[in-house]
A and B are shown apart, each in its own frame.
Chain A
Amino acid sequence: MNQRKDGFRLFEYVLFALVTLAVLILCVCVGSVTIPLEETIQVVWRAISRQPQPELTCVPIILTVRLPRVLCVALVGASLSLAGAAMQGLLKNPLADGSTLGVSSGASLGAVLAIIFGITLPQLPFAGTMVMAMIFAFLSMMIILSLAYKLDASLSTNTIILIGVIFSMFISSIMNLLITFAGDKVKSITFWTMGSLQGTSYQNAAVLLVCLTIFGSLLLSHCAELNAFAIGEDNARTIGVDIRKVKLLVLVCVSALIGVCVSIGGCIGFVGLVTPHMTRMIVGPNHRRLLPASMFAGAVFLLLADLVSRILLNPLELPIGVVTSFVGSLVFIQIFYSSRKVK
């Protein structure tokens, strides 16, 4: 038998990185004010090599507004997409995603609670919301899965989605109540339900990068286990997968990734559903290819969605979740119908 490597080759990774970089640069150039490509690259290069910048209006636009935002968008896209792909494999369910399961709503409840009650960590003032979002994401996941498991041990698509919808509605009612009473302490309801990466900083990007590096590599090192789960949990157990350990690890990583993204950008729906689904249609279900490809695809998808949200009603800006949910719900319906047809 041919010794075919499951994963991508180096040049394929380089290609993905180049495409992502190109889209990233495009997103820095285009916006309410369009900046020429050459100028953008020069400004960024001078910033990286610490050379003095000329006094141009585009310099602060690029360096303090667009670049940090675009970096955050790419990282959030990659994280959410990776989390979605891992969850869909683990639960053998192509509709699993932070937003369909209600995990993102749970995470935003955690973040809102942290803001209202002023929960902070002494050294890192912003980490309180983040940690609370992560914890609540994990708790939500545990609640949803155990409720679904009680109803139907095979964790079928319909049961999980139904519980997820009910859970999301429950959480959003609590959250809206909290936000109504908290006044201007918390960001608007639209931020938490539709998400936005407006005004994000380099600090946010750094935090996202660290989380994606840690939890992303943990997920990427469990591709074989995720393949086994995607074939079936019973089969995974009989071929020697440590079911409990892997499940816990994947759920913790996914919750952490979703928690961080939500605490920075609010609930940006359906990214974790759309991109892994489309990626799977191209590269197949093997997680050695699916997970890395989903990361790049997620980054590109969210960058483009963010671009559309910025330029569609220029100078007005749409919440990014409007764009992702619009595409996402169409894809959701397509997956749901095609999976029903098979039965």
Chain B
Amino acid sequence: MLDVKNLTVQYGTRKILNSVSFTVEPGQWLMIIGPNGAGKSTIINAISQGAPYSGQILFQGKNIRQYKPKELAQKIGVLSQHHTVGYDFTVEEVIRLGRYAYAPSLFSRNRDDGADKIQEAVSKTGLEPFLKQSVLTLSGGELQRTFLAQLFAQDPSLLMLDEPTNHLDLIYQKQVFALIRDWLKESGRAVVSVVHDLSLAKTYGTHAILLNKGKIFASGSISRVMEPENLNQVYGMDVPGWMREMYGQWLPREDEHENHL
């Protein structure tokens, strides 16, 4: 459904992305991984028309520059990692803006405001108790869920997430990823997300691209891309060794294991 060809983003003489090509098909959850400054977030910015780029980005066979902003928003939704809301809008007002792309024009009398989609988004994200609350009073996790609900209300077929749980507590990380996995179950949908945490990428991703200095180092199925050799070379360290050292201590010890048996 998404076909990116030779995507290049350049700021001055610095090439942030250098001829990056990849495709995303329905049902896939593509993880964009790589070290800091590899150009991960820039891919999302370019696809959402937030950064000037050269190359071609096709969505369902059509160049995304040819879509009108509202048409594009009905197809692709974006969730970024930080939100700074300027004024004290209520949670409900923020979520309802997700239906902007479907709003009837000034002169049409068709008043379908997608109340069912909004209702569904609110109940999925568990935000009912917060609807009338000002977004300025929310915690980071609640705010992120508010924008996720806006995204669900927007009802796109491709979700693009830029480190969606970067600064969230573990419980929210788990909630947000579980919600997205659930969302992906419906046919015709796909997710592209930038993640820092390789364990999250491995747990939830179906496919991945590994970026290094603006170029694709490896792409394909998650297990193939996350081969130790690839990761070690790009990150310049023994990645699996570090992961084992970090996460190994959480494994149940032998005696605990026996007790359980």
Contacts and interface: CB of A to CB of B under 8 A. Distances in A.
Contact of B94 (A92, A231, A243): A231
A92 B89 CA distance: 12
B105 to A, nearest CB: 10
Given A1-B131, A234-B50, A234-B80, A239 B101 contact: yes
Nearest to A229: B86
A221 B70 CA distance: 17
Given A239-B101, A240-B73, A240-B74, A232 B68 contact: no
Nearest to B150: A239
A331 to B, nearest CB: 16
A242 B72 CA distance: 11
Secondary structure dominating the interface of A? loop
A57 interface: no
A227 interface: yes
B119 A1 contact: yes
Interface in B27-72: 48-50, 68-72
Interface range on chain B (Cβ under 8 Å from partner): 35 or more
B93 interface: yes
B77 A285 contact: no
B69 A227 contact: no
Contacts of B83: 232, 235
B250 interface: no
B50 A237 contact: yes
B103 interface: yes
A3 interface: yes
Given A239-B154, A240-B71, A240-B73, 17 more contacts: A92-B86, A94-B87, A221-B106, A224-B97, A227-B97, A230-B87, A231-B85, A231-B86, A231-B89, A231-B94, A232-B83, A234-B50, A235-B150, A239-B73, A239-B100, A240-B72, A241-B100
Instruction: State the 9 A-B residue pairs at the shortest beta-carbon distance, nearest first.
Output: A240-B73, A285-B87, A240-B101, A92-B86, A238-B78, A240-B70, A242-B69, A239-B100, A240-B69
Interface of A: 1, 3, 6, 92-94, 221, 224, 227-228, 230-232, 234-235, 237-243, 280, 284-286
Interface of B: 48-50, 68-74, 77-78, 80, 83-90, 92-94, 97-98, 100-101, 103, 106, 115, 118-119, 122, 131, 147, 150, 154
